[in-house]
Structure formats: structure tokens, C-alpha cells
Amino acid sequence: MNPLLLAAADKAAGLTARDVFACPTFWALVCGVLGLWFVLPARFRFGNAIGSVLLAIAGGLFAFDLPLLGPRLDQGVFWLLAGVTLAASVCTISSRSPVYCAIWFALSLLGTAGLYLFQGAQFLGVATIVVYAGAIVVTFLFVIMLAQPEGHTMYDRISWGWFPKVFGVVAAGTLVGILTFMLGGLKDASTRPVSADAVAAADQRLQADAGILSDHHMANLGRHLFAEHLVSVEVAGTLLLAALVGAIAIAAYGKQASGGRQPPEGFAARIEEALR
């Protein structure tokens, strides 16, 4: 069985309340859950301000508990990218205009692409920006333009009710808490000192022959994809074709079913009112 799982199970057996309260991640999650509840829609007058302060405190506590990467510059760049990604994600789920949500999501995708580049996944970094931020988010914006002619609608300012809000944020906090708890063995392993030869060997491996024939060149992704997973690539291509045909068929059927180019009542009334 997985040694991490066993280590976490052993730790859970001897866990006391004092251990839980002494852990910064626990307080980070509590602050984060409260902050998220304040910041989500149907907030009251100062909800946004209180929520952002609480979320900032939660982010700081959470970052305090993360293991250090080593070189200061790497640590700073990672925190910047992760901070941009997570802050933009919080703004995505809490913004009251759907266009702002889409734009915050595009910023979150930029942060994600930066994180990919940080790890050496250059193709994915660029592909995320080109495909996700460049095509998918633009499609979203077009659909918002076609389907929601006005800005702050009623249903954007409130959420489903108090029950999903409370239990949604509590579930998210619990999920992250369980994740960090299960990964506790990994965090302990990361604080053990690494031998100098291992670091030297890793550095040498990374810097030796950075040409196209080395193991770390990005062309190996294409080789791996088309050599070992060719069937998956073909199936993905067929999926794309099916989605394309399906989307066109849905749009054509929808137009046909609504009897031609008549706009529905809701839209016609709104245009009349705007012209008056």
C-alpha cells in the first residue's frame, strides 16, 4: 500500500486537538472558509472588504506552512504565480458580472500558464494561453454577449441560498484540509536534508546537453504522445470531430425549432424598452 497513506493513517491515530489547533494550515482553512463565505454573492455592505482581509490572512498562513523550495528567487516567483492564480480564482467565483468572471478566469489561466512554465512544461504553458485563454474564454464572452444583454442581473447578485453557500465553503475547506493532512508525509520528506551529491547530480543532469536529443527537451512530449499513446490521440481527434458536428447540429436544430429568426419574447421586450 502507499507509504504516504500508511504514514497519514498512523498520524491520524495519534492526533490530538492540540496538534490540530497548533497547525497554521488549520487556522488558514478556517479563515479561508469564513472569508469565502463573506466574499461570495449575496453579500452585505462590507462583505467584500472583510472577506478579502480574511482571505489574505488565510493565504499568508497557508503559505507559511508550505515547505520552502530552496533558492529565494524561485520561492518568490512561485509565490507570485500561485498568489495571482488563487486571487484571480477567488475573484472569478465572487464577481457579480459574468464578463468580469470570465476576465478574472483569464488572469487565473495566465497564472496557471506561468506555473507550467515554472515547472518546465513549456508546451503546456503556451497551449493553455492559446487554447484556454485565447479560444475558450473568448467563446464564453461571445455567449455572454448573445445571451445576457444587461450587466448586473438579479441572479448574479444572489446565490442559491444560505445552505449551498455555507456547506459549499465548508466542504471546500474540508477537502483542502484532508489533502494537506494526507500529504503530511511528503512535507516531512521534503524537510529532510538532501545530500550535496544528489543536488549536484540533478543540476548536472538538467544542464547537460539541452539540445533536441536530450531527455528533457519538449519534443519528447510529442514523441511520447504519438509513439506510446497513438490510439488515445486518434480517439481525441474523433472526439473533437464529434463535438464540432454536435455543436453545429445543436445550433441548427435550435434555430429550426424556434421557427426561424424570431427572437424570443424576453429579448424583444428588452430591445423595445431600450429603444423607448
Partner 1 sequence: MNETALLYNFLAVGGVLFSLGLVGFLVRRNMIVMFLCAEMMLQGVSISLVGFGRYHNDWGGQMLVVFIITVAACEAGLAMALILMLAQRAGKLDSTTWQDLREEGLPAYVDHEVPEESAADQAWPHLTPAGIEPPIDRDALAHRSRV
Query: Interaction with partner 1 in 76-135: which residues (CB under 8 A)?
Result: 78, 82, 85-86, 89-90, 92-93, 97-102, 105, 108-109, 112, 115-116, 119-121, 123-124, 127-128, 131-132, 135
Q: How far apart are CA 236 and CA 230, in angstroms?
A: 10
Q: How far apart are CA 101 and CA 91, in angstroms?
A: 7
Cβ at position 21, least distance to partner 1 in Å: 20
Residue number with CB closer to partner 1 (23 or 85): 85
Is residue 214 near partner 1 by the rule CB under 8 A?
no
Is residue 274 near partner 1 by the rule CB under 8 A?
yes
Among the listed residues 6, 15, 186, 210, the single contact to partner 1 using CB under 8 A: 186
Instruction: Answer positive or negative: Cα dihedral of 169, 181, 31, 66.
Output: negative
- Scanning residues 228 to 257, which ones bind partner 1 (CB under 8 A)? 229, 232, 236, 239-240, 242-244, 246-247, 250-251, 254
Is residue 202 near partner 1 by the rule CB under 8 A?
yes
Residue number with CB closer to partner 1 (2 or 16): 2
Among the listed residues 151, 208, 209, 234, the single contact to partner 1 using CB under 8 A: 151
Cβ at position 56, least distance to partner 1 in Å: 14
Nearest to 136 by CA among 243, 229, 242: 243
Is residue 70 near partner 1 by the rule CB under 8 A?
yes
Site size with partner 1, rule: CB under 8 A: 110
Is residue 72 near partner 1 by the rule CB under 8 A?
no
Residue number with CB closer to partner 1 (18 or 152): 152
User: 3-class SS at 130?
Assistant: helix
Q: How far apart are CA 193 and CA 167, in angstroms?
A: 41
Cβ at position 195, least distance to partner 1 in Å: 12
Q: How far apart are CA 63 and CA 151, in angstroms?
A: 36
The per-type count for the chain, helices as H runs and strands as E runs, is 15, 0
Is residue 259 near partner 1 by the rule CB under 8 A?
no
CB 33 within 8 A of CB 16: no
Among the listed residues 8, 34, 36, 61, the single contact to partner 1 using CB under 8 A: 36
Alpha helices in 119-195 (DSSP H): 122-127, 137-147, 154-157, 162-182, 184-191
CB 52 within 8 A of CB 86: no
Instruction: Answer positive or negative: Cα dihedral of 160, 165, 171, 176.
Output: positive
For 207, the grid coordinates are 544542464
Residue number with CB closer to partner 1 (31 or 102): 102
Residue number with CB closer to partner 1 (6 or 157): 157
